[in-house]
């Protein structure tokens, strides 16, 4: 029995290590990108099994794991911590990003919470007939909006306090954008909803969206449900196409799990991308307000 447990643990270490390494090909292969989203989960499994091997005194197997773990952790989390800025003077813009959930059981509650944040801009995904009530409620403070059809789970939308100068809708592809004037400066604000990763159509969707992403008027403030981790190839492709950068931080926004254990937040897939020369004053994850996603509230400084 001891021999079996020892052998099984060694095989688990090999498998988890190989999976972690494969995930670092996330810029080249769609299948590797899918594994990269769970980088920290595989790392946790690897460390757990390594602790088990300590009981068998398998030092040659344990030491590499404890050397590898901090490297992966640094890459996935510490390097994603919010940067510390000496913030310039500028106009503060507050954005709320929220996947509203097409079957949201309490859309008015969701809208009330969003309004309490006094946002200037709101990006929404899964806007259906049921969750679309949120847009109607937001009109009390944010009278301007554009909604674009996407999939059976609902469309994507941008809601704004500022009048809309121009807008664009890539119908059926999960992208909508508006351009607004803030203190005399033009800013494009986009809402994005990506499909699930491989074996689903996420990378194909990104390729189809690439011309639209590259042609949007710059500078661009883009937010959405990426169905991808911030370090993934999918998110980086979007950042390159829009000349933006991902706001650092490790915010677990997707909530799932069976009733006895959840739902619990376990994946960081809702992101804010900002222009390269733009700074963030603050960013925080909001509470559960009726969706399987947490909202994200971001204060951005426009110089």
| Chain segment 195-218, per-residue pLDDT in tens | 999 998 999 999 999 999 999 999
Task: Reply yes or no on whether the pLDDT at 251 is more than 90.
Answer: no
Residue showing tokens 């813009």: 93
Task: Reply yes or no on whether the pLDDT at 3 is more than 60.
Answer: no
In this prediction, residue 241 has a pLDDT band, given cuts at 50, 70 and 90, of: very high
- In this prediction, residues 274-298 reach a mean pLDDT of 91
Give the pTM. 0.85
* pLDDT of res. 285: 93
The whole-angstrom separation of Cα 269 and Cα 225 is: 6
Q: Which residue(s) pair with 223 in the sheet?
A: 191, 272
* pLDDT of res. 264: 80
Listed in sequence order, the residues at least 6 apart from 302 whose beta carbon sits closer than 8 Å to its beta carbon are 90, 91, 92, 93, 182, 183, 185, 187, 278
- Whats the size of the chain, residue-wise? 303
19-23, 61-65, 185-189: which has the highest mean pLDDT? 185-189
Residue showing tokens 């800025």: 85
Task: Reply yes or no on whether the pLDDT at 48 is more than 70.
Answer: no
In this prediction, residue 81 has a pLDDT band, given cuts at 50, 70 and 90, of: very low
Higher pLDDT, residue 64 or 238: 238
Task: Reply yes or no on whether the pLDDT at 189 is more than 90.
Answer: yes
Task: Reply yes or no on whether the pLDDT at 140 is more than 50.
Answer: yes
Between CA 100 and CA 104, with CA 103 as vertex, the angle to 5 degrees is 50
Element (DSSP H or E) covering residue 3: helix 2-23
**Joined tokens for residue 207:** 């390729």
- In this prediction, residues 119-123 reach a mean pLDDT of 98
């Amino acid at each position: 029995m001891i021999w079996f447990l020892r052998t099984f643990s060694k095989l688990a270490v090999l498998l988890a290590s190989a999976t972690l390494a494969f995930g670092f090909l996330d810029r080249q292969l769609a299948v590797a990108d899918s594994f990269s989203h769970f980088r920290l989960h595989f790392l946790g499994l690897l460390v757990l099994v390594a602790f088990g091997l300590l009981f068998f005194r398998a030092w040659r197997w344990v030491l590499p794991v404890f050397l590898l773990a901090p490297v992966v952790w640094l890459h996935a989390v510490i390097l994603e911590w919010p940067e510390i800025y000496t913030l310039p003077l500028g106009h503060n813009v507050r954005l709320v990003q929220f996947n509203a959930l097409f079957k949201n059981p309490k859309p008015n509650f969701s809208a009330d919470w969003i309004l309490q944040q006094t946002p200037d801009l709101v990006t929404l995904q899964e806007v259906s007939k049921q969750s679309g009530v949120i847009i109607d409620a937001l009109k009390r403070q944010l009278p301007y909006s554009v909604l674009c059809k996407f999939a059976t789970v609902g469309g994507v939308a941008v809601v704004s306090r500022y009048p809309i100068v121009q807008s664009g809708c890539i119908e059926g592809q999960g992208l909508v954008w508006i351009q607004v004037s803030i203190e005399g400066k033009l800013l494009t604000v986009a809402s994005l909803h990506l499909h699930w990763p491989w074996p689903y159509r996420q990378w194909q969707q990104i390729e189809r969206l690439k011309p639209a992403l590259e042609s949007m008027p710059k500078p661009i403030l883009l937010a959405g449900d990426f169905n991808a981790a911030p370090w993934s190839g999918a998110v980086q492709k979007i950042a390159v196409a829009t000349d933006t950068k991902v706001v650092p931080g490790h915010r677990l926004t997707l909530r799932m799990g069976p009733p006895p254990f959840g739902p619990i937040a376990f994946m960081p897939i809702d992101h804010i991308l900002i222009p390269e020369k733009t700074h963030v004053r603050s960013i925080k994850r909001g509470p559960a307000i009726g969706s399987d996603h947490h909202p994200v509230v971001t204060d951005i400084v426009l110089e």
